[in-house]
Amino acid sequence: VQPPEKPLQPEEWNKLREDFQSPEVFEEVMLNSMIRCSSPIDVAKSLLTYLAKRNGDIAYNVLVKYLTLCVQHGQVSEIRDVYDIMKVRFKILESGAYNLLVKGLSNSDHWRMALTLLEEVKKIMVPSRACYESCIKAASRHQEMKLAFELYDEMLAKDVVPTLDALQSFFDFSRGMEDAELQKELFGILLYLRENQIYPHKTFMRSIKLWFESIPGGNWRGHLTNIKDSGQCPVCNHQLEDSNLTEEEYSNLSERIIRDVIHGSDTFRKTSPQEFEAFQTFVENRLPFDVVIDGLNVSHIKPKRMQCENLFDAVNCLAKEHARLLVLGRKHMLMNSPNWKREIMKEMQSKADFFFAENISEDDAFLLYATLRSGKHCKFVTRDFLRDHKACLPDSLTRHLFRKWQRGHQISKKKSFSFVFSKQPAFRYDCVVQTTGDTWHIPYKDVFEEKYSYRVPRKWLCIQQKL
């Protein structure tokens, strides 16, 4: 439906409504299309007038739609009027209307009203992150940083994930303020990014940079840069944190992998206790390995070649640099078949240790265990992202640890590899927001929404303090 351009007479509305195929939903459809076309508010008003005359009342959903239009146009007085009407007409409102009201009012001089509305929302449910975002933005826009941080803390306490926009507004509006307390809070936000492995996007990064440079007497300077593969920052020559886990994190992670990934709710789902025990003794007797290879995964690299040849190339290539290899496979690889030639298998077994799991067992779980057990220097080779195993870990903290460890220890192939086995090295440095006190290194995303979560940004913001 095309909404009219000018306010219409009740008769004209009536005619339109009668021409419409299903008159019961006419006003809803009409208002929806007005919202879509962002029609002038007067047109909607004339429709409401028609409805009020016709029915003596206006339904709640119609009012909400009208409110959406008002918020879209930023008509604050109108929003307030609608709110007054709603408040008298209905005892409480639902979340949709509250979201709209908070959003509409927070952009105006009546932004404090948005805060009282937020209090009202809290009585019936947990406010949405968009609600909090509007209030935080409004508060920081009016330089009420303390209030904004109170809201932010409250949000975190309620497990509502703050939007990047809300976080950005903190940096945008504290520019040039000399306040030690405030500085601490903002560093806290950067640490929040670090802990949750969130990467800011380009505009957010710019806000952070500008804020740092605006701190009076801080002498902070920011530069955009790319970090070398060695992990050194080309601007300040500072060495980034390496990707190794701490002792405690490491033992924690290996414990969780054994408990949640390998055993899970039932050891029989991925392996069997006998097999796992056999594997454990096998690994303990030959520790430590330098590289653990997922045999089946590697053998599928080039689909046109024989599977054991693929594996043979990989083993040969890795055997040159590393002493101790472990290849994980399944028992069917030992059967002489067109894809698995016995002679080649024999030759490989002289170069590396092999462990063959049952055909119905999951060899990935063994891969993780063997690598973790061998120690921090040990890497593993697979193209698998291991997402299903990561998903077995129940809490996000351990999942982050897993991701970090995976980034540092997984060797995978480049997409377009040449004829020989070429490998993409594991990251030597850790890709998170990090600080040494007088420097900050912040990785950022070039585009607003990064499509692949496994890809880590290669661009960095280096901030250093010159004393």
Residue 158 near other proteins by CB under 8 A: no
Query: Does 19 contact other proteins by CB under 8 A?
Result: no
Q: What share of the chain is helix, strand, coil (3-state, %, to 5)?
A: 55, 10, 35
**CA dihedral for 140, 145, 148, 153, sign (positive or negative):** positive
d(C-alpha 437, C-alpha 381), whole Å: 36
Rounded alpha-carbon distances, angstroms, from residue 290 to 37, 92, 222, 298, 301 = 63, 64, 39, 17, 21
- When binding is defined by CB under 8 A, the residue of 81, 150, 242, 255 that contacts other proteins is 81
83 vs 402, beta carbon nearer other proteins:
83
Angle of the 95-106 helix axis to the 129-141 helix axis, nearest 10 = 20
Tell the smallest beta-carbon distance from residue 124 to other proteins (Å): 5
Closest approach, Cβ 270 to other proteins, in A, equals: 7
Site size toward other proteins, by CB under 8 A? 43
Q: Determine if 458 is a binding residue for other proteins (CB under 8 A).
A: no
Name the 3-class secondary structure at 294. strand
Which listed residue (122, 158, 228, 269) binds other proteins by CB under 8 A? 269
Q: Where are the alpha helices (DSSP H) in 222-325?
A: 247-256, 273-286, 295-298, 307-321
The minimum distance between CB 255 and other proteins, in angstroms, equals 22
Interacting residue with other proteins among 5, 9, 15, 176 (CB under 8 A): 9
Rounded to a whole number of angstroms, the minimum distance from the CB of residue 106 to other proteins is 21
Q: List binders of other proteins among 84-123 (CB under 8 A).
A: 85, 88-94, 96-97, 123
CB proximity list for 348: less than 8 A, separation 6 or greater: 308, 311, 312, 315, 327, 354
- Residues 441 and 222: their CA atoms lie apart, in Å, by 9
Structure tokens at 326: 């472990």
- Taking CB under 8 A as the criterion, the residue among 30, 31, 51, 367 binding other proteins is 51
Give yes or no for residue 337 binding other proteins (CB under 8 A): no
Residue 60 touches other proteins, criterion: CB under 8 A: yes
Task: Choose, by CB under 8 A, the member of 16, 30, 58, 292 that binds other proteins.
Answer: 58
Rounded distance between C-alpha atoms, residue 423 and residue 212, angstroms: 39
Contact with other proteins (CB under 8 A) among 359, 422, 424, 436: 359
398 CB-near residues (< 8 Å, 6+ apart): 252, 253, 256, 260
Q: Is 49 in the site for other proteins (CB under 8 A)?
A: yes
| Distance separating alpha carbons of residues 408 and 127, to the nearest angstrom | 38
Task: Compare residues 85 and 287 and give the one whose CB is closer to other proteins.
Answer: 85
Which CB sits closer to other proteins, 55 or 436? 55
For 419-430, letters b (16+ CB in 10 Å) and e give eebebeebbbbb
Are 392 and 261 in contact by the 8 Å Cβ rule? The answer is: yes
Examine residue 156 and tell whether it contacts other proteins (CB under 8 A).
no
Residue 66 or 149 with smaller CB distance to other proteins: 66
385 binds other proteins (CB under 8 A): no
Compare residues 275 and 450 and give the one whose CB is closer to other proteins.
Answer: 275
Closest CB to other proteins among 265 and 418? 265
Task: Please answer whether residues 138 and 114 qualify as being in contact, where contact means their C-beta atoms are separated by less than 8 angstroms.
Answer: yes
Residue 197 CB, shortest distance to other proteins, in Å, is: 23
What's the closest the beta carbon of residue 298 comes to other proteins, in angstroms? 23
| Contact residues: other proteins, CB under 8 A | 7, 9, 11, 28, 42, 45-46, 48-49, 51-53, 56-61, 64, 81, 85, 88-94, 96-97, 123-126, 265-270, 272, 359-360
